[in-house]
Amino acid sequence: MTRQRKTPHGEVVRAIGVLTSGGDSPGMNAAIRAIARRAYSKGCRAVGFKWGFRGLMDGDTIELESRTVGGILDRGGTFLGTSRSKEFATEAGQRRALATLERVGVDGLVVIGGDGSLAGAHALAAAGLHVVGVPATIDNDVGGTDSTIGFDTALNTVLDAMYRIRDTASALDRVFVVEVMGRTSGQLALTAAVAGGADLVVIPEIPWDEKEAGRVTAEGRRNGKMHTLVVVAEGAASGDEVARLLSAYVPDMDVKVSVLGHLQRGGNPTGIDRLIASQMGAEAVDLLLDGMTDVMVGTDGTNLQTVSLSFAASQKSAINPELYKLCQVLAL
């Protein structure tokens, strides 16, 4: 017998769909698990779409029973798979997606991903579908939320790498430039720089002064520092570029570059990421069943909040300039 539930507005919700889109983030699986089990507890089917919006257009589905999502809470990545689809950005692609949803009987959809994915969710909501977004990106740059799924895990991955690099930097009296992810946002780089004791940080939001950076590096050497750590967000400059410029100011020091790359996306999610993913996933289902659409679940401190998908997809969370100043002070 098909489970059904009516929203306060009278629509029958037979099934809630879920997909993960864009770059993978640790904790996505915890959100999928929460969505499936919350839907089941409310008398609804849960349907997963594989490979993001591509699978939504192609009808690549999996029934998410309670046991189907067992054992995925602490796994990194996303067991549904993810992708970036140019076709979905077209009207034809979105019509294909809506046709799939109608064919498989899905009345509400949860989209888990970053700003591009949330923009796709907003497009479906504009076409009349009940859609709720859940923010998941290691960049932590989505508007309307203090935390995104995956950020805390990525931060701890970067910190672990920095501690290891610091050991060898001190042993050999070196400058190390650590390049981290963040094409348009310095949230990860800045937070890692403060928490990891970096001497300098280079982020897209604040133009960096190479002469001042060179002066700080040279002064640290004169003051007896055994190493210098510089964290660079990839969107501000490449690690090689920063290393080349710094070398001119400390020609007697060996300047090395470490590009962390995609290892920042992997690994088991931290407890914090599992917690917020579970809370957001369950809340997304509740919002759909309450008749809400075109919104994203976000956090305000430790509390959940909702913002419009259009706001979430178009606004970047701003860095804290006081944190940038603190990094400079703590590096003395």
Residue 224 has pLDDT above 80, yes or no: no
Q: What is the mean pLDDT of residues 8-35?
A: 86
pLDDT at site 192: 98
pLDDT at site 227: 83
Has residue 234 been placed in a domain? yes
d(CA 180, CA 257): 11
Q: What's the whole-model pTM score?
A: 0.93
Same domain (yes/no): 86, 19: yes
Same domain (yes/no): 146, 163: no
Same domain (yes/no): 108, 144: yes
Same domain (yes/no): 178, 191: yes
pLDDT at site 2: 33
pLDDT at site 215: 86
Same domain (yes/no): 173, 88: no
Same domain (yes/no): 133, 15: yes
- Burial (CB count within 10 angstroms: exposed 0-12, middle 13-18, buried 19+), residue 290: exposed
Encode 115-124: b = buried (16+ Cβ within 10 Å), e = exposed.
Answer: bbbbbbbbbb
User: What mean pLDDT, rounded, does the chain reach?
Assistant: 93
pLDDT at site 167: 92
**Percent of the chain clearing pLDDT 90 (strictly above):** 83
**Overall number of domains in the chain:** 2
Range of the domain at 195: 153-265
What CATH number does residue 32 fall under?
3.40.50.450
Same domain (yes/no): 145, 285: yes
**Phi, psi dihedrals of residue 224, rounded to the nearest 5°:** 95, 15
The residues annotated as belonging to the active site are 139
Same domain (yes/no): 142, 28: yes
Q: Considering only CA atoms, which of 236, 256, 238, 141 is closest in space to residue 188? A: 141
Q: Considering only CA atoms, which of 309, 287, 292, 18 is closest in space to residue 143? A: 309
Q: Which range has the worst mean pLDDT, 11-15, 195-199, 239-243, 301-305?
A: 11-15
d(CA 227, CA 253): 10
Residue 305 has pLDDT above 70, yes or no: yes
Residue 217 has pLDDT above 90, yes or no: no
Has residue 325 been placed in a domain? no
pLDDT at site 5: 46
Same domain (yes/no): 274, 184: no
**Phi, psi dihedrals of residue 301, rounded to the nearest 5°:** 65, -120
Same domain (yes/no): 32, 46: yes
Same domain (yes/no): 43, 139: yes
Same domain (yes/no): 80, 185: no
According to DSSP, the residues that pair with 316 across neighbouring strands are: 142
Q: What is the mean pLDDT of residues 216-239?
A: 88
The first and second tokens of residue 157, run together, are 């991955």
d(CA 112, CA 32): 9
Residue 250 has pLDDT above 90, yes or no: no
Has residue 330 been placed in a domain? no
Has residue 322 been placed in a domain? no
